[in-house]
Amino acid sequence: MPIKHFRPLTPSQRFTSLNKPVGLSKERPVRALTERKLRSGGRNVYGRVTSRRIGGGHKQLYRIIDFKRDILDIPAKVEAIEYDPNRTAHLALLFYTNGEKRYIPAPEGLKVGDTIVSSNAATTNDFTVGNCFPLSIIPPSTKLHCVEMVPGRGAKLGRSAGTSIELVGIEAGNAQLKMPSGELRLVNAKCRATIGVVGNGDQVNRSLGKAGRKRWMGRRPVVRGVAMNPVDHPNGGGQGKSKGGGGRQQIVSPWGQLAKGFPTRKRTLISSNFILIRKNGRPPRNKK
């Protein structure tokens, strides 16, 4: 998807560069595949803010995505490529020959009129963009997206625009996957995955150009902790610009959680057992 630049007729247009909607459908989404999207403004049932920096935003419909791809051995024709305000990737509208309609994240190279299928068996010519198979029958070094972590629970990995996961190999009933971060992890070989790279990879090159466009997305302004008063944030106060009052120099959250250089990932034994190499190139701490 190319990037569209604007003539600087206004101050914001000087810095704005957005995705150019080439080939996207202008029709409204399929009503049966949408749900209303409620907004809480980051507040709980008592009206208290529990998630900061959330509020406003344009009204949106949630598109129901088929992450399971559980309609097997029935061909589906790509009817349209549509925009989705809820994610960075575009959506492909599939019309199955049995009358079903489903949305899936549109992979790069998938066009209107193409036919794709989801199956448990495949030949050499079936490993084309958009087809979905178990990891156990996919050839090594294949670029994948929408990969399951538990068989039958739907895709959890590789769903954002421009991302892909490389299948390294199959060993002892587990598939070795190389994640976009460089992490090497194991996943059950019965998990399903879709061939190809998620489309709309150019979205990382866009520039919103103004704060108002961020407000349209439902994001409120972010204030640095060091710019606050001590009563509002542990890093606030001080004489001039300083990283905290009262002699405290650590960068922390408003509730005292260390924010820089401190591991925040939950060290669950189950997750660590399936990680072979972390994204920093080292093995997990529980392995030698």
Domains, in order of start, for the chain: 3-202 (2.40.50.140), 224-288 (4.10.950.10)
Q: Per-residue pLDDT for the chain (288 aa), expressed as one digit of tens each?
A: 689 999 999 999 999 999 988 889 999 999 999 999 999 999 999 999 999 999 999 999 999 999 999 999 999 999 999 999 999 999 999 999 999 999 999 999 999 999 999 999 988 888 999 999 999 999 999 999 999 999 999 999 999 999 999 999 999 899 999 999 999 999 999 999 999 999 999 999 999 999 999 999 999 999 998 899 999 998 888 888 876 555 556 888 899 888 888 877 676 655 678 888 888 888 877 665
Q: Which helix (H) or strand (E) holds 17?
A: strand 17-19
- Compute the distance between CA of residue 49 and CA of residue 254 in angstroms, rounded to an integer: 13
Q: Which amino acid is at 97?
A: T
Q: Quick one: CA dihedral 228, 230, 232, 236, positive or negative?
A: positive
- What is the DSSP code (8-state) at residue 49? B
Query: 274: burial class by Cβ within 10 Å (0-12, 13-18, 19+)?
Result: middle
Q: Which helix (H) or strand (E) holds 212?
A: helix 211-216
Q: Which amino acid is at 98?
A: N
Q: 3-class SS at 136?
A: helix
- Whether the CB-CB separation of 189 and 170 falls below 8 Å is answered with yes
Beta strand extents in 47-114 (DSSP E only): 61-63, 76-82, 91-96, 101-105
- Compute the distance between CA of residue 219 and CA of residue 158 in angstroms, rounded to an integer: 24
Quickly tell me which residue has 């909607």 as its tokens.
21
Q: How many residues does the chain have?
A: 288
Angle of CA points 29, 34, 39, to nearest 5°: 115
